[in-house]
């Protein structure tokens, strides 16, 4: 038997069991049922400091800061699949997610070439509170940006994404059957793509 494929889920919301957490968990659960090894990390509990722009990572292969990101660098290197989830906070990703993203600078060498090897597969979860159509338009550039981080920095080819609004309260998505089905389908597809 070959080694199980490993999928890392990152939850950028500070709300444990909130909408993002719920959807990332569903995706991971479906992937686990397909035989993958899955792991979820709550970025809000990971003690990740902001990038200090010291450029240590340009002369060394990692970041000088010995915080929670060090464990994540290792997990990200090992991951065959990555699920990134964040809600919108003031028309952007959360601060926890942005702090994590900035620390990915350590994956670039001095020539700004990405050090991560090999292609990964993944999924994006981006949810928000407002239910108006205009919110979708406003948040489109953020979706593009998050997709770019996944593809260019983490070398992830997306197999699916949940990008949806109208969930102001924690637990709103757990009552949404189509969305739950979609999350499960993405988890299955992700597992089968590895």
- List residues binding ligand FMN (CB under 6 A): 13, 15, 18-21, 87-91, 127-130, 135, 165, 167-168, 170
State the nearest-atom distance from the C-beta of 168 to ligand FMN, in Å.
Answer: 5
Beta carbon nearer to ligand FMN, 68 or 129 = 129
What tokens were used for 166? 């109208």
Q: Is residue 74 within a helix (H) or strand (E), and if so which, with residue range?
A: helix 69-78
Beta carbon nearer to ligand FMN, 46 or 62 = 46
Instruction: Report CA-CA distances (Å) from 32 to 6, 9, 78, 115.
Output: 9, 12, 17, 28
Residues 6+ apart with CB under 8 A from 13: 19, 20, 21, 44, 85, 86, 87, 94, 96
- How long, in residues, is the chain? 194
Beta carbon nearer to ligand FMN, 15 or 58 = 15
| Residue whose CB is nearest to ligand FMN in the complex, by number | 18
Under the phi-then-psi rule, with left for phi > 0, alpha for psi from -120 to 50, and beta for the rest, what region is 111?
alpha
State the nearest-atom distance from the C-beta of 187 to ligand FMN, in Å.
Answer: 17
Beta carbon nearer to ligand FMN, 65 or 96 = 96
State the nearest-atom distance from the C-beta of 26 to ligand FMN, in Å.
Answer: 13
State the nearest-atom distance from the C-beta of 61 to ligand FMN, in Å.
Answer: 33
């Amino acid at each position: 038997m070959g080694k199980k494929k490993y999928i890392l889920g990152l939850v950028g919301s500070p709300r444990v069991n909130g909408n993002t957490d719920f959807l990332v968990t569903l995706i991971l659960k479906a992937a686990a049922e397909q035989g993958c090894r899955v792991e979820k990390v709550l970025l809000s509990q990971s003690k990740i400091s902001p990038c200090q722009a010291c450029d240590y990572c340009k002369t060394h292969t990692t970041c000088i800061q010995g915080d929670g990101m060090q464990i994540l660098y290792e997990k990200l290197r090992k991951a065959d699949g990555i699920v990134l989830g964040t809600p919108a906070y003031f028309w952007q990703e959360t601060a926890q997610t942005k702090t994590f993203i900035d620390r990915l600078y350590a994956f670039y060498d001095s020539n700004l070439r990405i050090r991560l090897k090999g292609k990964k597969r993944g999924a994006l979860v981006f949810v928000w509170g407002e239910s108006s159509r205009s919110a979708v338009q406003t948040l489109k550039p953020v979706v593009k940006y998050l997709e770019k981080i996944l593809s260019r920095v983490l070398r992830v080819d997306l197999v699916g994404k949940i990008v949806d609004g109208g969930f102001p309260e924690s637990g709103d998505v757990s009552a949404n059957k189509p969305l739950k089905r979609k999350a499960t389908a993405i988890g299955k597809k992700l597992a089968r793509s590895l």
